[in-house]
Amino acid sequence: MIIDLSDAALELGRLARRALDEAGGDRLVQIAEQEPDRRESLVAPVLAELGAWELDPRGSGDELEAAAALCRSAGWWSVAYPVAERLCRPVDLGAAGTVVVADVRPAGPLAGLGGRWAAVTLGGRRSLATPRPPAAAPRTSAFVVELDLQPIDDGGADSPGRAAGDAALGLVLPCWTLLGMLDRAIDLTRAYVVERHQFGQPLASFQGVQFQLTDAEVERSGVEELAKYALWSIEAGRDDALDDALALRLAAVEAAEVVFRVAHQLHGAVGFCDETALSWLSRFSQPLRRLPLGPSATLDQLTSRIGRHGLSGLFDAATA
């Protein structure tokens, strides 16, 4: 059993977090919102310096793990750039990246980004995706736009493994970005309750505060373990990698609900204010939590896919 990312992947994640910090850190998303045309130039070159865009997550387990670590670091700074989606680019379409889309109202966080993009549904149908012009400012849209799709193939009847693999990878890497956001939300909240005093003592000294924080942390740490497992499932080429990806996504979006609710509650009013990183993190977590499917629709998909055989684990119907 090896349940940690490789040392090289972890080191790349650390380097990326530091490089993004030096490039602006929390300011990156703020500048991107104020000057949407700069969103790519703020982030992409920094990660290019680290060789991010040469990574081939489909090529080897090491590169997949490195991609996951990069996504987590991008999430920490909520960089407002589709790092995970770019890392999921298809091998055969010459596209800049892949977004997983729902069957209805396909959308992705691609506002203002040029280039050719690919889209894939959970059923494996692939399309070329053209982002529509933004209907709202980034402040409320978080750069999400609807996509016009031009179908390429029909769900992978000719290559079911490839189709499921595209969807699994396209679900899992954004969950690593969301995990980075959860890491940060917990970290910010922990620092705040230690620093903020009320009734003559730090908020952290109140058990009512402590217990909210611990419940959020349990949710976050559960996502961390499921994220590694789902990554391994892709790495190992398992048949149920898409089920594992959906299980991760379900846990991640449900955890995000808890973590951000607690983070906002414990920050109090200042957490709504743009002077706090939480305000930005919370808003820019929305695309990851809603697309391609929110918690209820994700649960529907998972329930439908696993039917009566369930998720793989210690038992199957024969051994239970």
Partner 1 sequence: MDYDMGEAAAALRDELRRLVRENVPPDFLGAFTDDPADLAVAQKFCHLLAEQGLLCLAWPEEYGGRGVSQWEQTVVREEMWAHHEPRGAQYMGVNWVGPAIMRHGTDEQRRTHLPPIARGDVIWCQGFSEPDAGSDLASLQTAARRDGDGWRISGQKIWTSYATMAQWCFLLARTSRGEKKQHGITVFLVPMSDPAIEVRPIASMLGPHHLNEVFIDDLWVTEADVLGPVDEGWKVVQEVLAFERVGIARYARCERLLRLAPAVLGDRWEGLPAELRGRWARMLTHCRRARLLAYRVVALQGRGQVRPADAAAYRIAVTRLDQESAEVLAEIVSLAALTGDDAQRFARAVEDHRRYSVSATVASGSIEMQRILLARALLAAS
- CA trace torsion 149, 256, 190, 222 (10° rounding): -110
Tell whether residue 231 is a contact of partner 1 (CB under 8 A): yes
Among 30, 141, 221, 279, binds partner 1 (CB under 8 A): 221
d(CA 280, CA 55): 28
Instruction: Name, in order, each residue with C-beta under 8 angstroms of 22's C-beta and a sequence gap of 6 or more.
Output: none
Tell whether residue 320 is a contact of partner 1 (CB under 8 A): yes
Tell whether residue 313 is a contact of partner 1 (CB under 8 A): yes
Tell me the three state secondary structure of residue 52: helix
Count residues near partner 1 (CB under 8 A): 51
Nearer to partner 1, 121 or 212 (CB): 212
What's 146's DSSP letter? E
Cα–Cα distance list, 17 to 34, 38, 71 (Å):
22, 20, 10
d(CA 55, CA 47): 11
Nearest-approach distance from CB 275 to partner 1, in angstroms: 20
Among 190, 196, 264, 290, binds partner 1 (CB under 8 A): 190
Neighbours of 144 (CB within 10 A): 21
Tell whether residue 60 is a contact of partner 1 (CB under 8 A): no
Q: Cβ distance 219 to 292 under 8 Å?
A: no
Among 235, 264, 286, 294, binds partner 1 (CB under 8 A): 235
Candidates 85-93, 116-124, 162-170, 307-315: pick the segment binding partner 1 (CB under 8 A).
307-315
Among 72, 86, 228, 289, binds partner 1 (CB under 8 A): 228
- Helix H or strand E encompassing 42: helix 39-49
- Show the binding pattern over residues 257-296: x = contacts partner 1 (CB under 8 A), - = does not: ----------------------------------------
Among 103, 225, 239, 274, binds partner 1 (CB under 8 A): 225
Nearer to partner 1, 114 or 200 (CB): 200
Tell whether residue 309 is a contact of partner 1 (CB under 8 A): yes
Candidates 70-78, 94-102, 226-234, 277-285: pick the segment binding partner 1 (CB under 8 A).
226-234
Nearest-approach distance from CB 299 to partner 1, in angstroms: 5
Cα–Cα distance list, 129 to 69, 120, 148, 172 (Å):
26, 9, 6, 20
| Nearest to 117, CA basis, from 142, 140, 85, 81 | 85
Nearest-approach distance from CB 40 to partner 1, in angstroms: 31
Tell whether residue 237 is a contact of partner 1 (CB under 8 A): no
Distance linking the first and last C-alpha atoms of the chain: 23
Neighbours of 290 (CB within 10 A): 16
| Nearest to 283, CA basis, from 306, 304, 256, 301 | 256
For partner 1, the binding residues (CB under 8 A) are: 1-6, 61, 65, 186, 190-191, 193-194, 204, 207, 210-211, 213-215, 217-218, 221-222, 225-226, 228-229, 231-232, 235-236, 247, 250-251, 299-300, 302-303, 306, 308-311, 313-317, 319-320
